[in-house]
Amino acid sequence: MQGWSPTSWKSKPNTQEVAYDEPRALERVVARISELPPLVTSWEVERLKSFVAEAQLGKRFLLQGGDCAETTSDCRSEIIVNRLKILLKMSLVLILGGRKPVVRVGRFAGQYAKPRSSPTEVRGGVELPSYFGDLFNRPEFTPESRRPDPELMLSGYQHAAMTLNFVRSLSAGGFADLHHPEYWDLSFFERADLPAAVRESYQATTRQLTDALRFMEALGEGTVSELSRVEFFASHEGLNLHYESAQTRTVPRREGYYDLTTHMPWIGERTRALDGAHVEFFRGIRNPIGIKLGPKVTPVEVLRLLDTLNPTEEPGRIVLITRMGAAKAADALPLLLEVVRRAGRRVLWVCDPMHGNTITTSSGIKTRNFEAILKEIELTYDAHDACGTYMGGVHFELTGDDVTECVGGGVREEDLSRAYATLCDPRLNHAQALEMAYLIARRMRAE
């Protein structure tokens, strides 16, 4: 940790840097956030790290999911509840399929920043800064909205705090009704294009899950009470380093610094440069951290990242999130797995089948195909099986609402305009996400 501090990243290049035009206003906001209570606690962070360590050994499975880009306007009870409900339903299906505990990690309470391929956007001959998420600027295409505003970081902190407070309240016992799959909306079972064998598998899974949960309830009131309490952990991309470092601090009776904006921040595909600001910041925090890996990453780059970010091989520290795309996973993934395995590095491999499968329709709508998402999951499982490694989790952009943003799984291309709500990338809706969990559970049983 020689030469590291919560702000040493400022001396490194930042490929996603957003220029604020009022440095003193930025300093005031950062100073204020640094004085505010932490959003999460170090013991929560360490608890998640212990779960990730067990997942690295194949004893747990990690489910990470939520919005592509949260908005502060979506900090509403029904949206948060729906998001938690779909993650809980998916986790119960995966527990049955994998016969092991599932770690639930939401993309919420801070996923207010998004990297962009270009710093500016052009519409009708007008060029303005790109929308980098509600932590930086606003989505409306006007000079006022697209101007980076440091006050939005304070707004992001406040909305993250409200979200986490509500999540913790619900986690204490607000989901007992979801332990009855017979009450779930399983209308996707009846899709005409669903093969009979798959439909029968879905129905068998639901019966088994219902029987298992009823058995648990029959054990006694204490078990029922325990069953109704669930844990959710928060995660987001640590893109805005002013925001992240403002909440990075030491805590009593623990060594090192914790980023207390979230439990598990991650480094994006666009910000994992070894000499960059984000790797510099992440190497000094004690949180478990995710690293997104696209098809262009080389094994040497990954090993150097591991050397930099986890030189002591701490269990539970590293989550490698592969996002290769269905067309490239079979070629790009096996060598990566083999080199990391031979090097003896302890990591948790997670598949993100969303980001490499974005397409644009003939009418110019950005979408993703359900079948391509599923194919990447299958190819990733195949690569791990061939290498003797373990795929220990999945990472989805999803919502608990009935949006129409991804085609397939009951949504046709002509349906996209009905409920296309995302400000950035398309998400799986409630039915698509739950069906994806059923399909992964089938693969888990086959494993």
Residue ranges of domains in the chain: 8-175+230-446
Q: How far apart are CA 173 and CA 348, in angstroms?
A: 30
At 61-114, the pLDDT tens digits run 999 999 999 999 999 999 999 999 999 999 999 999 999 999 999 999 999 999
Instruction: Pick the range with the lowest mean pLDDT from 31-45, 172-186, 399-413.
Output: 172-186
Sign for the pseudo-dihedral over CA of 296, 301, 305, 311:
positive
pTM comes to: 0.95
> How confident is the model over 250-266, as a mean pLDDT?
97
| pLDDT mean across residues, the chain | 94
Residue of higher predicted confidence among 183 and 198? 198
Least confident of 202-216, 277-291, 360-374: 202-216
Q: Which two tokens stand for residue 149?
A: 């505003």
Q: How confident is the model at residue 446 (pLDDT cuts 50, 70, 90)?
A: confident
pLDDT at 1 over 80: no
Determine the average pLDDT of the residues in 235-242.
Answer: 98
Q: What is the pLDDT of residue 183?
A: 79
Phi, psi of 38 (to 5 degrees): -65, 150
Point out which residues pair with 105 in neighbouring strands.
64, 233
Q: What value does the mean pLDDT take over residues 24-43?
A: 98
Taking the CB of residue 24, how many other CB atoms lie within 10 A of it? 9
Give the residue-averaged pLDDT of 42-67. Answer: 98
**Distance, CA of 355 to CA of 39 (rounded, Å):** 28
pLDDT at residue 228 tops 80: no
So what's the pLDDT on residue 181?
86
Q: What is the pLDDT of residue 124?
A: 94
* pLDDT exceeds 70 at position 138: yes
Task: List, in sequence order, every residue forming a beta bridge with 368; answer none if it has no partner.
Answer: 358
Q: Does the structure show a pLDDT above 90 at 291?
A: yes
pLDDT of residue 29 exceeding 60, the answer is yes
Q: Which residues of 343-359 are buried (b: 16+ CB within 10 A; e: fewer)?
A: eebbbbbbbbbbbbbee
Q: Which pLDDT value is given to residue 230? A: 84
What is the C-alpha to C-alpha distance for residues 240 and 136, in angstroms, rounded to an integer? Answer: 8
In which band, very low, low, confident or very high, does the pLDDT at 447 lie, cut at 50, 70 and 90? confident
Q: What is the pLDDT of residue 217?
A: 75
Tokens 């439990």 correspond to what residue?
263
pLDDT reading at 142 higher than 60: yes
Q: What are phi and psi of 281, to 5 degrees?
A: -65, -45
Question: Which pLDDT band holds residue 213 (cuts at 50, 70, 90)?
Answer: confident
Superfamily of domain 8-175+230-446: Aldolase class I (3.20.20.70)
Which residue, 154, 138, 158, is CA-closest to 146?
138
Give me the sign of the Cα torsion angle 202, 351, 375, 387: negative
Confidence at 179, pLDDT banded by 50, 70, 90: confident
pLDDT of residue 193: 86
In sequence order, what are the residues at sequence separation of 6 or more whose Cβ sits closer than 8 angstroms to the Cβ of residue 294?
Answer: 269, 323, 324, 355, 356
Residue 223 pLDDT: 56
What lies within 8 Å, CB to CB, of 306 at 6+ separation is: 318, 340, 343, 345, 347
SS (H, E, C) the chain: CCCCCCCHHHHCCCCCCCCCCCHHHHHHHHHHHHHCCCCCCHHHHHHHHHHHHHHHCCCCEEEEEECCCCCHHHCCHHHHHHHHHHHHHHHHHHHHHHCCCEEEEEECCCCCCCCCCCCEEEECCEEEECCCCCCCCCCCCCHHHHCCCCHHHHHHHHHHHHHHHHHHHHHCCCCHHHHCHHHCCCHHHHCCCCCHHHHHHHHHHHHHHHHHHHHHHHCCHHHHHHHHCCCCEEEEECCCHHHHHHCEEECCCCCCEEECCCCEEEECCCCCCCCCHHHHHHCCECCCEEEEECCCCCHHHHHHHHHHHCCCCCCCCEEEEECCCCCCHHHHHHHHHHHHHHCCCCCEEEECCCHHHEEECCCCCEEEEHHHHHHHHHHHHHHHHHHCCCEEEEEEEECCCCCCCCEECCECHHHCCCCCCCCCCCCECHHHHHHHHHHHHHHHHHC
pLDDT for the residue 227: 58
Least confidently predicted of 136-150, 202-216, 369-383: 202-216
For residues 153-167, give the mean pLDDT: 97
- pLDDT for residue 263: 98
Rounded to an integer, the average pLDDT of 151-160 is 98
pLDDT bracket for residue 221 (50, 70, 90): low
Q: Which residues contact 394 (CB under 8 A, 6 or more apart)?
A: 62, 63, 64, 65, 350, 351, 352, 353, 377, 440
Say what the pLDDT of residue 220 is: 67
Please state, for a pLDDT cut of 70, what percent of the chain lies above it. 97
Whether 5 has a pLDDT exceeding 80, the answer reads yes
Banded model confidence at residue 225, pLDDT cuts 50, 70, 90 = low
Average pLDDT over residues 289-308: 98
Q: So what's the pLDDT on residue 340? A: 98
Q: What pLDDT, on a 0 to 100 scale, did the predictor assign at position 187?
A: 87
The pLDDT-based confidence of 2 (bands split at 50, 70, 90) is: confident
- The proportion of the chain whose per-residue pLDDT surpasses 90, expressed as a percent, equals 87
